[in-house]
Amino acid sequence: FTTVNGLPILDEHLRWPGCELFLMGPWTALRVGPVARNLFGGKLASDRIVPALTKASLSFA
């Protein structure tokens, strides 16, 4: 996997490359932005993760 300053490079659904591991919190700062560590960041992260979990065409890609 690739990192930038210790942060993982995640896909648009905040999924760890090569597996079905979704991340939230400070590890998503490169995708979510500086709010990744607070409640609004959790909301933004869940808005990205839920579609991947609920749409068959996106999950387990």
User: Is residue 8 a contact partner of residue 16, using CB atoms and an 8 Å limit?
Assistant: yes
pLDDT(58) > 70:
no
Task: Determine the Cα–Cα distance for residues 53 and 22; give it in Å rounded to an integer.
Answer: 10
Supply the range of the domain harboring residue 38.
3-57
For 57, other C-beta atoms within 10 Å of its C-beta total 8
Which pLDDT band, with edges at 50, 70 and 90, does 56 fall under?
Answer: low
pTM above 0.85, yes or no: no
Report the number of distinct structural domains present in the chain.
1
- Spatial neighbors of 24 by CB under 8 A, at least 6 apart, are 14, 36, 41, 42, 45, 46, 49
Task: Determine the Cα–Cα distance for residues 55 and 41; give it in Å rounded to an integer.
Answer: 22
